[in-house]
Amino acid sequence: MKNNKITIALAGNPNSGKTSIFNNLTGANQHVGNWPGVTVEKKEGSFFYEGIEFKVIDLPGIYSLSASSIDEKIAREFLIQEKPDVVVSVIDSSNFERNFYLALQLLEMGVNLVLNLNMIDVADKKGININEKVLSLILDVPVVKTIANKNRNTEQLKKAIATAAKKERVSNFEVKYNKEIEEAIKNIISKFPSQNMPANERWLAITLLEGDQYLFNMAKKVYNLTDIENIALPEVNKIEKKYNDDILSIIADNRYGYIKGLVNEILTRKKKIGREISDKIDSVVLNKFLGIPIFLFLIYLTFQIVFTVGSPLVDWIGQFFDWLGNAIAPLLIKIGVSSIVVSFLKDGIIDGVGSVIVFLPNILIMFLLLAFLEDSGYMARAAFVMDKFMHSLGLHGKSFIPMILGFGCNVPAIMATRTLESRKDRILTIMAIPYMSCSARLPIYVLFTSIFFPKHQGLIVFSLYLLGIIIAIFVANSFKILFFKKETAPLIMELPPYRLPQTKSALLQMWLKSKIFLYKAGTIIFFTVIIIWILSSLPVGVEYASKQSWIGQIGTFFAPLLKPAGFGFWQAAVALIFGILAKEVVVGTLGTLFGGAESLSQALPHYFTPLSAYAFLITSLIYVPCIATIGVIKRELNWKWALLSTGTSIFLGWFLAVLIYQIGGLIK
Ligand code: GDP
Ligand code: MG
C-alpha cells in the first residue's frame, strides 16, 4: 500500500475479459498511457470501496509469466517491481485448464491473489460447473464468479479485493513437482544467503531453474548471488538428462499435471443425457485393458453369427444349385441340346457361378453386422482403442477406420484413406488395407472351414481376420521403416456419440454392398467362369477339366511352386491365378473344376488335409486381393506402389502358407 492507495493489477489471458472487468471496476475513472519504453497500452483507473481508493492496472493479456514475449516481460516486471497489493487473476471459466496456468504461476510467485472466474455464462452453456468454494479452499484465495460483459457480480469482486488487501498473509500454495525438480529446488535454496532474501525463495529457485535471465540478473544484483549460474545450471542439466527433455517442458508438464488433478476436484461437465450414456459405455469399451479384448471379441462374435445363422441357408442354396444342375442337364439332352452347350450351362455357369452365389447369406449377415457396428458409433471407438497401438507403429488410430472398412471391400477402404492428412499416413494405410480380409474372401473361408473344420468355423475364420490385421500392421510398419523415417505430430480423435442403429438404414447398407457382390457374381465371375470352362474344354476332345486340358496345363506349370505349401496340384494353382480377378473366383473356379458346391465337399478332402487347407486359406487371404484393388492403388498413388503392394502380397501369401504347412508338418 503506497500513499494510502491500494494498487491492484488485473492479469489474464487475452480475451479472458480483463478489460471488461477493468471497465466494470473503474467506470469512467481511467486513463490510457504506455508502458515505459514500449508502445504497449497501459490502462490505469481507480475506484473507491468503503472509503478506500483502489488503483487498478490492466496488465497486457498473457498466457504465462515465462517472459518470452514483450507483453509477458512487461507484466512480470510490473509484478516484481511494483509489487501490487492485490492481483486479480481473470479467467475465462469456459476454458479453465488453459487459463488457470497463469493463475498457478501467480500463486507460485506468492502474490496476493483474487481468483476471478469470469465468463461463467459461457461455461454454463458448455455445461461446465466450477465449485468455487472448494477451489477457494484448495488454493487458499478468494474466488469470485463474474459475467463481465453484463457487469454481473462486480460488487462481490470489489468486496473480495478489499478483503484481500487487508489480509496479513498470502496463500502458501505450492505445486508439488517431481522428485528431481524438488531436489533441485532444495539444493538451490540451500545456497541462498540467510539474509535479505525475498519471502518466496521457492519461487525464485523455480524461476532460476527455468533459466530466466531477468531473474538471474536480479539474483546477482539484488541478492548478491554472484555465483547463481553455477548453482542452477548443473541442476538443470541433471534433470534434462534424466528426462531427455528441456527443463521448461518438464516444469510445464508438472504444472499441467497439477491442474489436471485440480480440475478433477472442482470442475464438472454436465452432459446431455445421450452423452452421459455414451460416457458410461465408453468407460468400458475404451478401457485401457478391456478395449482391445472387447474389440476382438466383437469381431469374433460377428463371424460366429455369420456362420451359425448363415450356414444352414448356404446349405439350402447349395442343394438348390446341385438339384438345378442335375435336373436341367438330362432335360436339355432330352430336347436335343448339344452336349457342349449342356456342359457349358451345367459345369460352367450353374456350378461356377452357383458355387459363389451360395455364400450370399454369409455376405448379407456380415454386411448387416458391420453396418450395425458402424452406425452405432462403435467403429470409431475401435479406431480409438487401437490408437495407442497404432502409434507405437508410427501410424494413427485414424488409419484404422479405413482398415476396418477393408473388411467390407478393399476398394472403398483405399478411397477412404483420403481423409488422412499426411501423405505418409495415406501411403502406409493403403499398403496395409489389402491384408484386411474383405468379404470376397469369405466364400473361400466358408467353403473350406465347412469341410475341414466344421466344429470350429468361427474360430478359424477369426484367426484369419486377425492374421490379416497383424500382417497389415506389419507391412505398414516395415514400409514405414523402409521409406519414411520422420515422425508426424499426433492427431486428436473425436468420438461421435453412440446411437441406436436404425434397422432400416443397416438393411439398406447391407443391400447396397451385397448388390456389389451379386453384380460381381453376374459379371467378372460369370465371365471368368466362362473362360475357365473354355480352357477346361480345350483342346477339342480332351476330357473336361482334366489335367490334359489347357487349363490343366497352365495349372500344372505353376503347381510345383505351391507344393511346399501343401497344395501343389494344378486345380489350386488355377483357382489362385484366376482369383486375382476377384477372390470369389477362387471358389467359382474350384466349383467349375470339381463340379458344384455339393460335389466340392466330396472332392476337396481328396486333395487337402486340414493343414494344407489352412495354408490355402492363408494364401487366399494374403495374396493380391483383386485387380480392382490394384487399380485403385494405382489411381490413388501410382504404379510403383501398386506393383510393390502386389509383389509383397504375392510373396507373403506364398511364404506364410509354406511356413505354416512346414511347421505344422513338423508338429504332427
Ligand atoms: P481482454 O482481452 O481480456 O481484455 O477481454 P475483453 O474484456 O476485451 O473481452 C473480450 C470479449 O469477451 C468482449 O467481447 C467482451 O464483451 C466479452 N466478455 C467479457 N466478459 C464476458 C463474460 O463474462 N461473458 C461473456 N459472454 N462475454 C464476456
Ligand atoms: Mg483487453
DSSP letter assigned to residue 466:
H
User: What are 582-613's pLDDT values in tens digits?
Assistant: 787 788 788 877 865 557 778 888 888 999 99
CB 604 within 8 A of CB 444: no
Judge if 154 and 192 occupy the same domain.
Answer: no
Of ligand 1's listed atoms, the one at least distance from the Cα of 13 is: 3
Task: Look at residue 39 and tell me if it is in a domain.
Answer: yes
CB 600 within 8 A of CB 449: no
Atom 13 in ligand 1: residue holding the nearest Cα: 17
User: What are 526-552's pLDDT values in tens digits?
Assistant: 777 788 778 877 787 777 667 788 888
Of ligand 1's listed atoms, the one at least distance from the Cα of 122 is: 26
Ligand 1 lined by 60 (C-beta under 6 Å): no
Judge if 252 and 206 occupy the same domain.
Answer: yes
Number of structural domains the chain divides into: 3
CB 282 within 8 A of CB 330: no
pLDDT number for residue 668: 63
Task: Look at residue 275 and tell me if it is in a domain.
Answer: no
Judge if 363 and 247 occupy the same domain.
Answer: no
Task: Look at residue 440 and tell me if it is in a domain.
Answer: yes
Report helix, strand or coil for 174: coil
Task: Look at residue 414 and tell me if it is in a domain.
Answer: yes
User: Mutual orientation of helices 247-266 and 132-139 as an angle, nearest 10°?
Assistant: 140
Ligand 1 lined by 381 (C-beta under 6 Å): no
Q: Stretch 549-563: mean pLDDT, rounded? A: 85
User: What are 296-334's pLDDT values in tens digits?
Assistant: 888 778 877 877 787 788 778 878 877 887 888 888 888
Distance 148 CA to ligand 1 centre (A): 7
Cα gap 195→577, rounded to integer Å: 89
Residue in the block written with cell 466344429: 455
User: What are 481-502's pLDDT values in tens digits?
Assistant: 888 866 554 445 556 667 677 7
Ligand 1 lined by 19 (C-beta under 6 Å): yes
Report helix, strand or coil for 335: coil
Distance 21 CA to ligand 2 centre (A): 9
Domain boundary among 166, 195, 215: 166
Edge-first strand order for the sheet with 6-12 is: 30-34, 41-49, 52-58, 6-12, 86-92, 113-118, 143-145
Of ligand 1's listed atoms, the one at least distance from the Cα of 21 is: 7
Parallel, antiparallel or unpaired: strands 6-12 and 52-58: parallel
Cα gap 5→72, rounded to integer Å: 25
Of ligand 1's listed atoms, the one at least distance from the Cα of 90 is: 3
Cα gap 388→398, rounded to integer Å: 11
Residue in the block written with cell 489411381: 635
User: Mutual orientation of helices 524-537 and 570-579 as an angle, nearest 10°?
Assistant: 150
In terms of residues, how long is the chain?
668
Cα gap 412→443, rounded to integer Å: 20
Is the peptide bond prior to 610 cis by the omega test (within 30 degrees of 0)? no
User: Mutual orientation of helices 213-223 and 228-243 as an angle, nearest 10°?
Assistant: 150
Task: Look at residue 101 and tell me if it is in a domain.
Answer: yes
Judge if 397 and 253 occupy the same domain.
Answer: no
Judge if 344 and 404 occupy the same domain.
Answer: yes
Q: Which of 511, 459, 468 is nearest to 303 (CA)?
A: 459
pLDDT number for residue 244: 85
**H-run or E-run covering 614:** helix 610-622
**Cell reading at 137:** 479452499
Atom 16 in ligand 1: residue holding the nearest Cα: 149
**H-run or E-run covering 626:** none
Contacts of residue 81, Cβ cutoff 8 Å, sequence gap at least 6 = none
Give the N- to C-terminal CA distance of the chain in Å, as an integer. Answer: 91
* 4 or 430: which leads in pLDDT: 430
Distance 20 CA to ligand 1 centre (A): 6
Task: Look at residue 499 and tell me if it is in a domain.
Answer: no
Q: Stretch 435-443: mean pLDDT, rounded? A: 86
Helices assigned H by DSSP within 523-549 = 524-537
Task: Look at residue 172 and tell me if it is in a domain.
Answer: no
Cα gap 267→130, rounded to integer Å: 5
Judge if 202 and 335 occupy the same domain.
Answer: no
At residue 473's C-alpha, the angle toward residues 308 and 656, to 5°, is 70
Cα gap 281→171, rounded to integer Å: 41
Ligand 1 lined by 17 (C-beta under 6 Å): yes
Domain boundary among 166, 194, 224: 166
At residue 357's C-alpha, the angle toward residues 296 and 527, to 5°, is 115
Pocket test for ligand 1, best of 16, 20, 91 (most atoms within 8 A of CB): 20
Ion ligand 2: residues, Cβ under 5 Å: 19
Task: Look at residue 72 and tell me if it is in a domain.
Answer: yes
Q: Which of 124, 114, 113 is nearest to 147 (CA)?
A: 124
Does this model's pTM top 0.85? no
Q: Which domain holds residue 634?
A: 291-485+508-667
Judge if 355 and 469 occupy the same domain.
Answer: yes
Judge if 162 and 199 occupy the same domain.
Answer: no
CB 122 within 8 A of CB 130: no
Ligand 1 lined by 41 (C-beta under 6 Å): no
Which of 261-270, 542-551, 652-661 bottoms out in mean pLDDT, i.e. has the lowest?
A: 542-551
Judge if 301 and 263 occupy the same domain.
Answer: no
Q: Which of 247, 228, 230 is nearest to 239 (CA)?
A: 247
Q: Which of 275-289, 312-326, 343-357 has the highest mean pLDDT?
A: 312-326
Contacts of residue 186, Cβ cutoff 8 Å, sequence gap at least 6 = none
DSSP 404-449: HHTTT-HHHHHHHGGG-SSHHHHHHHHHHGGGS--GGGHHHHHHHH
DSSP 489-516: -------PPP-PPPHHHHHHHHHHHHHH
Judge if 631 and 663 occupy the same domain.
Answer: yes
Domain boundary among 119, 138, 166: 166
Q: Which of 41-50, 328-337, 363-372 has the highest mean pLDDT?
A: 41-50
Judge if 324 and 346 occupy the same domain.
Answer: yes
Query: Which domain CATH number covers 233?
Result: 1.10.287.1770
Judge if 150 and 206 occupy the same domain.
Answer: no
Q: Stretch 446-460: mean pLDDT, rounded? A: 88
Cα gap 584→444, rounded to integer Å: 7
- Cα Dmax for the chain: 123
Which of 112-126, 138-152, 299-313, 628-642 bottoms out in mean pLDDT, i.e. has the lowest?
A: 299-313
Report helix, strand or coil for 6: strand
CB 46 within 8 A of CB 26: yes
